[in-house]
Amino acid sequence: MATRPSSLVTLATCNLNQWALDFDGNVTRILESCRQAKEKGASYRLGPELEICGYGCEDHFLENDTFDHCWESLAKLLEEGATDNLLCDFGMPVLHGGVRYNCRVICHNRKVLLIRPKTAMADNGNYREGRYFTAYSTPANSSAN
């Protein structure tokens, strides 16, 4: 009788002490969280929103350099093996078609599998995400409609 693969997933959630624009330090903390997740047997690692650049970049989200440094940091995470045998859900901003999105970037075994932009912005109280990011909506001509 063939064995059935386990349907259990061990989730590692991370609350990291990330700093705005501290790309090297943020990458170091992300790498450590991935190492700990693997050590504890996790198969899925979920990081905080905008963890690669830090949440509080404010007007630096309006600069293309911030996006470039995020991609460089993601490349380093992949090169360092953070995603080897671990599904990683990283938070980072993505510039696509001239539009800024707050995204989840899903990676596994040194490959980007999915980029998922937020569909609703926090624009109440202390939050002004709409100043920096656009909520994603499915294009009208998409087959998803």
Structure confidence at residue 138 (pLDDT) = 85
For residue 35, what is the enclosing H or E element?
helix 23-39
Structure confidence at residue 54 (pLDDT) = 97
Structure confidence at residue 19 (pLDDT) = 98
Residue 120 carries which DSSP code? S
Residue 108: closest CA among 87, 89, 90, 92? 87
Q: Are 51 and 18 in contact (CB under 8 A)?
A: yes
Q: Express each pLDDT in 118-139 by its tens digit.
A: 999 999 988 899 999 999 998 7
3 pLDDT band (50/70/90 cuts)? low
Q: Express each pLDDT in 11-25 by its tens digit.
A: 999 999 999 999 999
Query: Is the model's pLDDT at 142 over the cut of 80?
Result: no
Residue 35: closest CA among 9, 6, 12, 7? 12
Query: Is the model's pLDDT at 145 over the cut of 60?
Result: no
Q: Express each pLDDT in 30-66 by its tens digit.
A: 999 999 999 999 999 999 999 999 999 999 999 999 9
Query: Is the model's pLDDT at 81 over the cut of 70?
Result: yes
